């Protein structure tokens, strides 16, 4: 997998900027406290002393400053050894815009009913992310916590079967944009956990299971690829208008010289339950 910066570049499972992927992915945040700059907000803590709205504003202010230089290289390192990929994924993009429904005439003088506000289940404050489940992409994987390394790159998941959630983004159920990444393949030639991410289409289900048993459900709204050097990092990992999960991996052609893929695949799914 690789890092994320104002230019995105990931080598097998994520996004990165024009920075080489880390040779030794860091351990989970819990085991590596102090390795992440103090300006990066920590998520998943059980105790909060400030109101949610204030925390959210401060959180995204810190993130906006961070994104100015962050390298999006999540999941493109492909493990300790660097070998050519056994297969290349054909770039595939579909329009995430929903097909408009036939307009319904409104009788003059009548009021348009206000749709009911969806009531989604909320995880307990100390619940952590347990698993990411995407049936259509054959994903049912444990989730580990990752952050940013000393080179300001998004850290890679530790193995081909692991999914990383980034602790400078929102925890599912507690903010607008929870960002995950996973490898597309591995140095052994094996498929990575996000190998089938490119096959996801609009409407496919994404499930985040928390340690307290709560399941948060999302539906895919877009599946796009970006050139590694041109991916809009702030747009991908920054705040969003609605509650979503963002999934990042590598795609395109593997370059033997740079040991990296030329594309980054980004899937976004909006919460529905």
User: Tokens 């956990």 identify what position?
Assistant: 193
Strands 215-227 and 177-182: unpaired
Q: What's the pTM value of the predicted model, to 2 decimals?
A: 0.67
Give the pLDDT of residue 67: 61
Residues 143 and 149: beta-carbon distance below 8 Å = no
Q: Is the pLDDT of residue 240 over 50?
A: yes
Give the pLDDT of residue 130: 98
When mean pLDDT is compared over 39-48, 57-66, 130-139, 256-265, the highest value belongs to: 130-139
Exposure on the CB side of residue 151, measured as CA atoms within 13 A: 22
Exposed, middle or buried: residue 15 (CB in 10 Å: 0-12, 13-18, 19+)?
Answer: buried
Listing DSSP states for 30-77 in one string gives GG-TTSS-TTSPP---S---S-HHHHHHHHHHHHHHHHTT-BB-TT-S
Q: Is the pLDDT of residue 81 over 60?
A: no
Tell me the average pLDDT of the chain. 73
Span of 100-104, 148-152, 170-174, 179-183 with lowest mean pLDDT: 100-104
Average pLDDT over residues 258-263: 87
Residue 135 pLDDT level (bands cut at 50, 70, 90): very high
Neighbours of 267 (CB within 10 A): 25
CA dist., res. 247 & res. 13, Å (int) = 9
Give the pLDDT of residue 119: 82
- With H, G, I as helix, E, B as strand and everything else as coil, classify residue 23: coil
Give the pLDDT of residue 58: 54
Strands 177-182 and 244-255: parallel
Span of 6-10, 24-28, 95-99 with lowest mean pLDDT: 95-99
Span of 37-46, 214-223, 246-255 with lowest mean pLDDT: 37-46
Q: Is the pLDDT of residue 215 over 60?
A: yes
CATH 2.40.260.10 correct for 29-95+120-271: yes
Q: Is the pLDDT of residue 123 over 60?
A: yes
What is the tens place of the pLDDT at every residue in 192-212?
Answer: 999 999 999 999 999 999 999
Give the pLDDT of residue 256: 84
Give the pLDDT of residue 30: 37
């Amino acid at each position: 997998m690789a890092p994320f910066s104002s230019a995105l570049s990931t080598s097998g499972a994520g996004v990165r900027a024009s920075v080489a992927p880390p040779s030794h992915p860091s351990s989970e945040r819990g085991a590596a406290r102090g390795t992440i700059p103090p300006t990066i907000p920590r998520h998943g803590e059980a105790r909060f002393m400030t109101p949610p709205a204030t925390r959210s504003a401060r959180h995204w202010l810190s993130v906006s400053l961070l994104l100015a230089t962050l390298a999006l290289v999540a999941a493109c390192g492909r493990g300790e050894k660097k070998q050519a990929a056994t297969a290349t994924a054909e770039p595939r993009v579909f329009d995430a815009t929903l097909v408009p429904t036939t307009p319904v005439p409104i009788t003059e003088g009548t009021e348009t009913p206000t749709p009911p506000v969806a009531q989604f289940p909320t995880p307990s404050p100390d619940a952590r992310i347990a698993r990411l489940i995407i049936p259509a992409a054959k994903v049912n994987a444990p989730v580990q916590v990752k952050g940013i390394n000393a080179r300001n790159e998004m850290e890679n998941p530790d193995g081909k079967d692991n999914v990383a959630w980034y602790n400078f983004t929102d925890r599912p159920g507690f903010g607008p944009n929870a960002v995950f990444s996973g490898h597309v393949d591995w140095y052994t030639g094996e498929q990575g956990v996000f190998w089938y991410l490119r096959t996801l289409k609009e409407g496919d289900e994404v499930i985040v299971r928390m340690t307290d048993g709560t399941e948060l459900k999302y539906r895919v709204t877009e599946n796009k690829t970006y050139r590694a050097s041109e991916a809009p990092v702030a747009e991908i990992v920054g705040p969003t208008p609605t509650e979503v999960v963002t999934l990042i991996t590598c795609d395109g052609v593997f370059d033997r010289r740079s040991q990296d893929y030329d594309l980054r695949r980004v899937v976004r799914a909006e919460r529905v339950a």
